Amino acid sequence: MCGRFTLFSSPERLAELFDLAEPPQLAPRYNIAPTQPVAIVRADARTQTREWALVQWGLVPSWAKDPSMGSRLINARAETVAEKPSFRAAFKRRRCLIPADGFYEWQRTSKGKQPYFVHLRDGSPFAMAGLWEFWTGPDGSALESCTILTTEANELMAPLHNRMPVIVAPEDYQNWLTIDLDRERERASLLHHLLRPFPAEAMEAYPVSTYVNSPRNEGADCIAPLVC
DNA sequence: CCAGACGTTGTT
DNA sequence: GTCTGG
DNA sequence: CCAGACGTTGTT
DNA sequence: GTCTGG
């Protein structure tokens, strides 16, 4: 699954990867946790352009009575996302990309839980597949939120965990962001095809200190290789 | 009909 | 043990 | 994901 | 909002 990740790549590099006119205003983050604000890239159907947004991690369905439901909807299974009541509306036309340059997974061992930092071999930032949603409170307050899609683990991840976030290849960004399943239902299979495990050969993982365990620890020490 | 759930993970 | 909050 | 709380009354 | 269970 994906319960923590990082985003410390330069705004210029992110603007280039996501083909955005303006670099996003983002400070480096090494321990992004559920309920915190996360940067997303989404398409504006009106203007046919991409935009950045900061939304809360943990999807709050539009029909939720209060926002507390979000803390339990930080991930959505790719296999069932099109059918689940909490996600299906967003899957049709509110998909997004969630920029990251790595994520954490905790391996369960006889000695407890060992965190690992997982990243691309070449160190590039990448995009996780996400959904976003909007919610309006009884008092008119507005909230935007998101969730990260998961799929089965690839060969690299399998020893650590049975699930991993969906990583979208750059050539698939446009389809993921812009297909409208209300108007083009036949393209659902194309979208589902994108939600496959990323190639293990392009990824790498190494153990890190349990310093990362607490969401209060936000420094670069989170990704320091564990010295035994 | 109304009430209550709506999710993922992991563990047993 | 289980739920909520970050 | 992990960390931290988990309760009521009354008083400041 | 929509579906399932009583």
How many domains does chain A contain in total?
Answer: 1
Rounded, the Å distance between the CA of A89 and C1' of B3 is: 23
A105 is catalytic: yes
Kindly state whether residue A111 falls inside one of the protein's structural domains. yes
Kindly state whether residue A56 falls inside one of the protein's structural domains. yes
Kindly state whether residue A227 falls inside one of the protein's structural domains. no
User: Complex ipTM, two decimals?
Assistant: 0.88
Kindly state whether residue A59 falls inside one of the protein's structural domains. yes
Q: Which of A96, A105, A133, A144 is catalytic?
A: A105
- The nucleotides of chain C lying under 7 Å from a protein CB are 4-6
Rounded, the Å distance between the CA of A83 and C1' of E2 is: 12
**Residue A69 lies in domain:** 4-222
Question: Tens digit of pLDDT for each residue in A11-63?
Answer: 999 999 999 999 999 999 999 999 999 999 999 988 889 999 999 999 999 99
Q: Which portions of chain A are predicted below pLDDT 70? A: none
Q: Which amino acid is at A17?
A: L
pLDDT at residue A203, as a whole number: 98
Structural contact between residues A166 and A153, judged by C-beta atoms closer than 8 angstroms: no
Rounded, the Å distance between the CA of A25 and C1' of C2 is: 39
Nucleotide whose C1' lies closest to the alpha carbon of residue A215: C6
Single pTM value for the model: 0.96
CA–CA distance, A69 with A35 (Å, rounded to integer): 11
Kindly state whether residue A228 falls inside one of the protein's structural domains. no
Kindly state whether residue A163 falls inside one of the protein's structural domains. yes
Kindly state whether residue A52 falls inside one of the protein's structural domains. yes
Which CATH number belongs to the domain containing residue A8 in this structure?
A: 3.90.1680.10
- CA-closest candidate to residue A127, choices A104, A143, A148: A148
- The nucleotides of chain D lying under 7 Å from a protein CB are 1-4
Kindly state whether residue A203 falls inside one of the protein's structural domains. yes
pLDDT at residue A46, as a whole number: 86
